[in-house]
Structure 1
Amino acid sequence: MSQRSDPIGVFDSGVGGLSTLRVLAQQLPNEDFVFFGDSANAPYGNKSQVEVQRLSERVVQQLQAVHVKTIVIACNTATSAAKPQLMAAHPELDLLGIEPALKAAVDAGHKRILVLGTALTLSLPKLKAQVARFQGQATIYPQACPGLAELIEHQADAEQVQALLHQLLQPYANQTIDAVVLGCTHYPFVADEIQAELAQLPTVYTGDAGVAANLQRHLQRRQLLNVTPHVQQIQLMSSRKTPAELALYRQLLGLEG
């Protein structure tokens, strides 16, 4: 049985989920975390749905082995492609997933919203249903970003990232875009560069605040919220089991460098 003092598991296809973990750790300072980055198979966005399901199942099993009380899928692609199957296969599993913050952008009154995501995330019914739900309230432009998560995952130089963003966002450069929804947890690492490609420096939305609030409510409801102050522990794991990879995780998380 899960205990309040057990850690929370967080996983992503690679380094992207560290942007979400950073927010979760800040919002829930009494919680400990175990992060698993499947960097050996990153990114998930260019894979088939069946492959994402298989990889997500394998990561979940590794997190269960270290006795986490809840698992947060810090990957929009895995949330859309694999969460229903994971819940069906593991009815005992306490599982939450991140989602693009399209509702938050619409609720804030934005009228021309660019949604950036992987091709797989944008093609699946979950995001399509969100877009259809809000189309009457705002003009929404879904834009796939092939190759962007790969560049971020492999820490490509700034010139490569800028060149790809310029190519992807050129159709919107002179349009009035007042909000950008980042539908991939890799993308917050280049949020400033994304803004710079657009004329009005639009407001940027991620799903991090939403999933953090959802996680806190969920733990309170399940009586699993750790209220005991202590020095927060964050364990980092990766399918690419090298000291350099884990050092990169620590750096991106702000634990060093």
Structure 2
Amino acid sequence: MKNEPNLINNPIGFFDSGVGGLSVLKEAVKLLPNENFIYFGDSKNAPYGTKTVDEVKKLTFNAVDFLLSKEVKAIVIACNTATSAAIEDLRTTYKNIPIIGIEPALKPAVELKKNGKIIIMATPMTLSEAKFNNLMNSYKNEADIEPLPCAGLVELIENGLIEGAEVNSYLKNKLKPYLKSSISSIVLGCTHYPFIKKELSKILDKNTEIIDGSLGTAKQLKRQLSNMNLLNNQATLGKIEIINSLNYKHIIDLSFKLLNS
């Protein structure tokens, strides 16, 4: 990608399997308020975390092609599962545009050096992929790390359930085996999960840290745009466009509600 002046005003593309990546977009908007954003959520095909790697790869490439048709200047794969499955292939295929992914924020959890278990909540596919296992193995001598696959949680959030009895019951059942032991931190390894942080904190000890990678990803986006002289320095606030493969009013309304929550 050439550093042409007209690219500076082009939007930044965000992609997720549904509404989850809005947790990352929220941080990016705070950090880069003058940028224009296009967010594409593929709720029609959610969840990605229980699909095969090839299925996720195909859907992710389709989404990236769609965002490129919108003339975006950078793309954020705001989905842990899609990042695990496709990020290397995407960067090999689209060499001229910055593509930023996300991975479970295990490093900050380990660096806390707190006693107790680090639990990584994520989709089954993210936890089974080599990318995550390499990450986990790099810290296995420094911390007690427990992967916790959370099939079904994305569907609750996609339906707008982010607090209340059903979410609380789901989280209690998932964490039941660990609640009597010491948990140093919970890493939210899916971009949907920050939306249930409030409900999660009701179940956990107040000293347990809840960590996600949204801010780190937003900072990486800013760094890459800065390095390529692509930061938008317009004086006005940028525009945010949200598109969803379901194309229902309620999913767009839910998206803006989550973004502004």
TM-score calculated relative to the size of structure 2: 0.93
Q: Does 1:31 align with 2:38?
A: no
Shift, 1:88, TM fit: 2.3
Number of the residue aligned with 1:158: 164
Q: Which residue of 2 aligns with 1:43?
A: 47
Give, in angstroms, the shift of residue 110 of structure 1. 3.0
Aligned residues: 255
5+ residue gaps, structure 1, are: none
Which amino acid in structure 2 is aligned with residue 207 of structure 1? G
**1:195 shift after superposition:** 2.6
Aligned position for 1:202: 208
Instruction: Give the whole-Å Cα distance in 2 for the aligned partners of 1:221 and 1:89.
Output: 21
- Give 1:201 deviation, angstroms: 4.5
Q: Which residues in structure 2 correspond to 1:10-159 (within 5 Å)?
A: 10-111=14-115, 112-156=117-161, 158-159=164-165
Per the alignment, in what secondary structure is the counterpart of residue 134 of structure 1?
coil
The residue aligned with 2:190 is 184
Q: Distance in 2 between matches of 1:128 and 1:95?
A: 22
CA distance in 1, matches of 2:145, 2:24: 24
The answer on whether the counterparts of 1:176 and 1:200 sit within 8 Å (CA) in structure 2 is no
Give the whole-Å Cα distance in 1 for the aligned partners of 2:20 and 2:114: 26
Cα deviation for residue 220 of structure 1 reads: 0.9
Cα shift at 1:200: 4.5
Question: How far, CA to CA, are the matches of 2:80 and 2:207 in structure 1?
Answer: 24
Retained in 2: the 8 A contact 1:175–1:199?
Answer: no
CA distance in 2, matches of 1:208, 1:143: 19
Let me know the Cα RMSD of the aligned residues.
Answer: 1.5
SS of residue in 2 equivalent to 1:172: coil
Aligned to 2:76, the other structure's residue is in SS state strand
**Cα pair 1:169 1:198 within 8 Å, conserved:** no
Shift of 1:166: 1.3
Q: Are 1:195 and 1:201, in contact at CA under 8 Å, matched by a contact in 2?
A: no
Of all paired residues, the percent bearing the same amino acid is 41
Instruction: Within 5 Å, give how 1:227-238 maps onto structure 2.
Output: 227-238=233-244
Choose from 202, 224, 235 the match for 2:230.
224
User: 1:172·1:198 contact (CA, 8 Å) conserved in 2?
Assistant: no
User: Quick one: distance in 2 between partners of 1:108 and 1:226?
Assistant: 35
Structure 2 stretches of 5 or more lacking a match? Answer: none
